[in-house]
Amino acid sequence: MANVAVIGSQWGDEGKGKIVDWLSERADVVVRFQGGHNAGHTLVIDGTSYKLSLLPSGIARENKLSVIGNGVVVDPYALASEIERLQKQGLKVSPETLKIAENATLILSLHRELDGLREDSSTGTKIGTTKRGIGPAYEDKVGRRSIRLMDLASLDTLRDKIDRLLSHHNPLRRGLGVTEITVEDIYKELEDIAPKILPYMDAVWRLLDEKRKNGARLLFEGAQGALLDIDHGTYPFVTSSNTIAGQAACGSGLGPDAIGYVLGITKAYTTRVGEGPFPAEQKNKIGQFLGERGHEFGTVTGRKRRCGWFDAVLVRQTAKISGITGIALTKLDVLDGLDELKICVAYELDGKRIDYLPASEGAQARVKPIYETLEGWKDTTVGARSWNDLPAQAVKYVRHIEELIETPVALLSTSPERDDTILVQDPFRD
């Protein structure tokens, strides 16, 4: 059996919730390996909806172990609130079902405040962050001054670590014209939350190694999408972590050989939230149609998503960078009823045709899409559970996407319902 890493192959919001839910039922351990509570998806199990931001999707299922890896930045108050909310819904969230890496970086109130100050500033580049402190927390991690979960277990040494952190943040706050923070402010913040979070702490790398040796199926659950990767995405309009499949190993404490299959969740059209380049964006009736039919609003922020045609150039590129084995194509049903469909197959950059998205911010802003046009279909794809249930033109559309992105379709989703899925290739099998 192969362990599976699930990532988004576009700018996030590809419909990972349903697919991860479907896979988590068959996994033994579900691991979050990057991001924070800026992610979000909704699971519907036995008619009940569970909204998750930080917790792995396995938390909504019995007899599953959920793990938050070292690659995740954890807001302890947001986590405690999410746990309490799910417990009120009847879920059993306990130190037996949830483990958090002892070396996970914490998001503090000063991170949230700094994130908001920067994003709301009238100067500088607006990234379109969720203002939840994700970026500043990762900055402190790389700057070797962050407070980590294990630090809450040694309150006698915590003040010195906070002082080191504030030696960086208070000069920033002075420059931004806001009040400085005292060591005691942060100490009190962490002292109060420590008893609620520490029981979940564990040496996650060792735990996962033991589970793997004992034959457990591991599902690595990514957040956001590959085009938001800090290295390989549309920089600087990206998130602050690596969102590609390689991070599944680094962000959980396992070697890369632990990942046997990479599933790229891929929407049958393209969306993105926030600022940044979007070559195939449709600021017209088509974009409005896709947004309304696809209910394109962010789970966490509620922000309206920008919509456009499927961009095969981008997905082919992310498939290669992430080593995607197969894709799960979602929201095909949103395209039902369109007379024609377009697929971006290449770009024009300064008069030349290219088959990739360049890394330069300026070049990304200048690329123009080159489209192929396909005939649409009038019959519905909603609820299809086999290829025979799909209109002929829908099958042609899917097969052409496979050719263009040089990656096979492993799963095809035809509605938000879990069972409305066409299984072509089982990711959990080698």
Residue 236's pLDDT is what? Answer: 95
Residue 110's pLDDT is what? Answer: 96
Mean pLDDT of 134-139: 96
DSSP states of 63-112:
T-EEEE-TTBEE-HHHHHHHHHHHHHTT---STTTEEEETTPEEP-HHHH
C-alpha distances in angstroms, 10 versus 100, 208, 370? 28, 28, 18
Residue 122's pLDDT is what? Answer: 57
Mean pLDDT of 221-244: 95
To 5 degrees, how large is the angle CA 324–CA 54–CA 297? 75
**Residue 236: is the preceding peptide bond cis (ω within 30°)?**
yes
Map residue 16 onto helix, strand or coil: helix
Helix (H) or strand (E) holding 89, with range, is none
Mean pLDDT of 338-342: 97
Residues designated as active site? 13, 41
pLDDT 10s digits, 242-288: 999 999 999 999 999 999 999 999 999 999 988 999 999 999 999 99
Residue 125's pLDDT is what? Answer: 65
The C-alpha atoms of residue 20 and residue 428 are separated, in whole angstroms, by: 12
Residue 418's pLDDT is what? Answer: 74
The C-alpha atoms of residue 430 and residue 425 are separated, in whole angstroms, by: 10
Mean pLDDT of 158-187: 96
Q: Looking up tokens 């969102």, which residue turns up?
A: 243
Give CB contacts under 8 A, 24+ apart, made by 83-87: 83/55, 86/50, 86/55, 86/59, 86/60
Which of 16-25, 33-42, 136-145 is modeled with the greatest confidence?
136-145
Query: Quick one: CA dihedral 222, 227, 232, 233, positive or negative?
Result: negative
C-alpha distances in angstroms, 346 versus 52, 207, 280, 356? 36, 45, 10, 7
pLDDT 10s digits, 413-422: 988 777 888 9
342, 36 Cβ separation under 8 angstroms: no
Residue 298's pLDDT is what? Answer: 65
CB atoms within 10 A of CB 417: 12
Residue 16's pLDDT is what? Answer: 84
pLDDT band (50, 70, 90) for residue 300: low
Residue 128's pLDDT is what? Answer: 64
pTM: 0.93
Whether residue 121 is predicted with pLDDT greater than 80 in this model: the reply is: no
pLDDT band (50, 70, 90) for residue 312: very high
Residue 303's pLDDT is what? Answer: 76
pLDDT 10s digits, 44-100: 777 788 888 999 988 988 889 999 999 999 999 999 999 999 999 999 999 999 999
Whether residue 184 is predicted with pLDDT greater than 70 in this model: the reply is: yes
pLDDT 10s digits, 22-48: 898 889 999 999 999 987 777 777 778
Whether residue 333 is predicted with pLDDT greater than 60 in this model: the reply is: yes
Residue 51's pLDDT is what? Answer: 87
Residue 274's pLDDT is what? Answer: 85
Whether residue 301 is predicted with pLDDT greater than 70 in this model: the reply is: no
Cα 335–chain centre separation: 24
DSSP-based helix, strand, coil % in the chain, nearest 5: 35, 20, 40
Residue 189's pLDDT is what? Answer: 97
